[in-house]
Amino acid sequence: MKREQWGSKYGFILAAMGSAIGLGNLVRYPSVVYENGAGAFLIPYFVALFTAGIPILFLEYSLGHKYRGAGPWVYQRLSKKWEWLGWWQSIVAFVILSYYMVILGWALSYTYYSFGSQWGEDTESFFFNNYLGVTEGVGVLGGIQWKVLIPVAILWAVLFWVLHRGAKRGIEWASKFMIPILVAMIVLITIRGLTLEGAVKGLEAYFTPDFAALSKPEVWINAYGQVFFTLSVGFCTMITYASYLPKRSDLANSGFIVALSNCSFEFFAAIGIFSALGFLATQQGVEVGEVVAGTLGMSFVVFPQIINQFPGLNSLFGVMFFVSLLFAGFTSAVSLAEPGIAAIREKFGLSRKAAVNWLCGASALMSLLYVFKGGLYFLDIVDYFINNYGIVVSAILMVVLTGWVSKQVDSLQKHINDVSIVRIGGWWPAIIRFITPLSLAAMVLWNIYNEWMMTYGGYPQWSVNVFGWGLLAVVIILGALIQQRRWATEPSPHKEEVSS
């Protein structure tokens, strides 16, 4: 099968940045920073970046580029018994895509609601009661919320169109269009935020370090979690994207650019976010900590409150913020779909259009679960378990496979150095073999300990068993079953191996 290619190195970097920069950069990062030592959090954050984030990013780049295939093909090249791991990761991305598109649908709705601040004064009640129509508990599904379904359907249609166009004409084009506009809007929002009354109060909350927090294990765990999730590693996206690169591609340089650009983006965006939070706290006469919220609360409750209080041009800045969420999220959604599309094309010999229709059609059907009035509960459970266990455990297995089972990590280091101007030293194989699996294992064990102490979110045990642990079991079983099918085609290699 002839392999698609990016139109340029610039296009690849923007696509990889688009994958990494998502909702977590804009609204998850500020709350994680504030709750984990504020300015002091940067210490474990950068430790995590250089001991897990960048090393795994390099690993996925080298795997995709050397073996020229999606995750399942790459893993079976390393060891025929491990193909299922690639399907595990690709299915995880498929599951995340199903609810990620629903959250983007909310952002599309709120772009419209920004005109005239249609959410009113009680933004919390508007979001949960009026817009989502949340039921009284996880056991009550309720009816379909049409005001959620319609924008979600629109975004699925756009995603189908982009993915049908392929890597160069679709994904690369969307990234070249959206990422520069996204960065420009965040710069404007940040500049405006810095001019607001109370901005200094917000920046003090952001930068003032609480070094005592560094003694808490959960702070370090959260740092690894933030870095890991924000770089889009662990679900074959970067493996697939790197497989579309030409033979001579500077993998190390591209990896550093993507990782550091992603981290710089969320650090800079947080300046604007905290400035706005300081403004809101000043207007309400409270401390900044009282207005900081989690991802959904920050996006759809707190920011509408900030926009309500804006001294002029409320609608403009509301539209800019929610379009920023849309663009950041959409480029990530594209990257969630691509690993599965590439994998089923290679495994079953499908055309790109057929692969997109099958995979995205199934994911869109799964999205319907979350547009019911009780869908928020299921979204929360699925998101927690698929991220904290589905992605992290598969990443542990990935580094164990490359570092210990197939023992290819040294060969992959040579491959990176053969095609890159910037050479990586012996520190990288050592980190992949020891530090990365141990740090990620600590994350998993910490989460299991918390689960043992109290059921996640206080949900009924049956709901956690079905939509949490049960879903993870289905993902693994599906991966094992698909492995039994013979390959209909093989990805085309480079004309000659770059390194053995």
3 found inside a domain: no
Nearest to 155 by CA among 342, 339, 331: 331
Q: What per-residue confidence (pLDDT) applies to 36?
A: 94
Provide mean pLDDT across the span 433-441: 95
> In a 10 Å sphere around its CB, with 0-12 CB exposed, 13-18 middle and 19+ buried, how is residue 37 labelled?
buried
Provide mean pLDDT across the span 453-460: 89
CA distance 486 to 86: 15
125 found inside a domain: yes
Each residue of 245-283: b (16+ CB within 10 Å) or e?
A: beeebbbbebbbebbebbbebbeebbbbbbbbbbbbbbb
Q: What per-residue confidence (pLDDT) applies to 34?
A: 93
Asked if the model's pLDDT at residue 498 lies above 60, the reply is no
* Confidence band for 494, pLDDT divided at 50, 70 and 90: low
Q: What is the mean pLDDT of the chain?
A: 94
Provide mean pLDDT across the span 401-412: 96
Nearest to 439 by CA among 54, 88, 68, 160: 54
Q: What per-residue confidence (pLDDT) applies to 497?
A: 41
493 found inside a domain: no
423 found inside a domain: yes
CA distance 312 to 294: 27
Q: What per-residue confidence (pLDDT) applies to 313?
A: 86
Counted domains in the chain: 1
Asked if the model's pLDDT at residue 495 lies above 70, the reply is no
- pTM (2 d.p.): 0.95
CA distance 293 to 445: 26
Share of residues in the chain with pLDDT > 90 (%): 88
Structural domain range at position 224: 9-483
DSSP secondary structure of 42-63:
HHHHHHHIIIIIHHHHHHHHHH
Q: What per-residue confidence (pLDDT) applies to 373?
A: 97
> Of 380-384, 452-456, 494-498, where does mean pLDDT reach its minimum?
494-498
> Tens digit of pLDDT for each residue in 9-47?
999 999 999 999 998 898 889 999 999 999 999 999 999
* Confidence band for 3, pLDDT divided at 50, 70 and 90: confident
> Tens digit of pLDDT for each residue in 201-238?
999 999 999 999 999 999 999 999 899 888 999 999 99
200 found inside a domain: yes
488 found inside a domain: no
221 found inside a domain: yes
CATH at 273: 1.20.1740.10
Provide mean pLDDT across the span 271-296: 91
Asked if the model's pLDDT at residue 77 lies above 90, the reply is yes
Asked if the model's pLDDT at residue 266 lies above 80, the reply is yes
382 found inside a domain: yes
